[in-house]
Amino acid sequence: MKKRDIGFLRQQATRVRVEILKMLTEAGSGHTGGSLSAADVVTALYFYKMRHRPDDPSWRERDRFILSKGHAAPLLYVVLAMTGYFDISVLKTLRKIGSPLQGHPCSKTLPGVEISTGSLGQGLSVSNGIAIGLKIDNLSSRVYCLLGDGETQEGQVWEAAMTAAHYRLDNLCAIIDLNGLQIDGPVSQVKAIEPVASKWSAFGWQVIDIDGHSIDEILNALDEAEKIKGKPSVILAHTVKGKGVSFFEGKVEYHGIAPTRDELEMALKELEGNGQ
């Protein structure tokens, strides 16, 4: 774990957003909204909470991160590059033929990716298996699984939630990116998921409700989750789709559309000026 430095982590989160927008614009495709909404959470994981070694991605005692919402791959790629898993110059190859940075993460081509994801609803099941394996091996490593709120409409998520509680997987922490929007519109209109907190609690999880853009709240939640014994924990991170750029925020149309060159220029000025 790294030193708890709120200012540093905020700066890193801003840089993460900048690099996400640059790579998406260069590619001309990709998922903007959901990558930006979860940027603060994933920055906190990799720069503060998780035990990991970029120079030894297969280190046995590492914590594991599973990006269940695999379309937010640009976020994962940027954080992996910034923490040293590969050279940051590779980011400009996003979605290009032969690049290890495809539209969804591939564990066979990129160090630091635990498992290929993108088929929504499966990440928590995979995380359960990893968490059980870690317990069998008597390792203290933890598993962090990031899901989208629309993704929790999938039935498999709830089977996995029940399984995790049954096996008392206290080395597992799920994080829900509650940005309220999915590709077809507002989550509440496509298929309502509320009351989210009550559902996870009823399934036997410790629920931690936070502002997903407050670094302080994120760190407190991650620290609290690590202390929970006898049950898995879930962090409900209330976020804004496209967070950090005013003309992206809360816009469902930017779920899977990359910025134009003009939008990138405006976005970079805004990010660099507001200290997000």
- The helix (H) or strand (E) run that includes residue 191 is helix 187-191
275 dihedral zone (left: phi>0; alpha: psi -120 to 50; beta) = left
| Upstream peptide bond of 100 is cis (omega within 30 degrees of 0) | no
Average pLDDT of the residues of the chain? 96
pTM: 0.96
C-alpha gyration radius of the chain: 17
- How many helical (H) and strand (E) elements, i.e. helices and strands, does the chain have? 10, 7
Q: Is the pLDDT of residue 178 over 60?
A: yes
Summarize pLDDT for 87-114 with one digit per residue, the tens. Answer: 999 999 999 999 999 999 999 999 999 9
Band of residue 272 on the pLDDT scale cut at 50, 70, 90: confident
CA dist., res. 151 & res. 141, Å (int): 26
Secondary structure class of 237 (helix, strand, coil) = strand
**3 state SS of 66:** strand
Q: Which two tokens stand for residue 230?
A: 């006898």
The answer on pLDDT for 43 being more than 90 is yes
Closest-CA residue to 254 (of 99, 72, 103, 101): 72
Walk me through the domains of the chain, giving residue ranges and CATH numbers.
6-274 (3.40.50.970)
pLDDT at 2 over 90: no
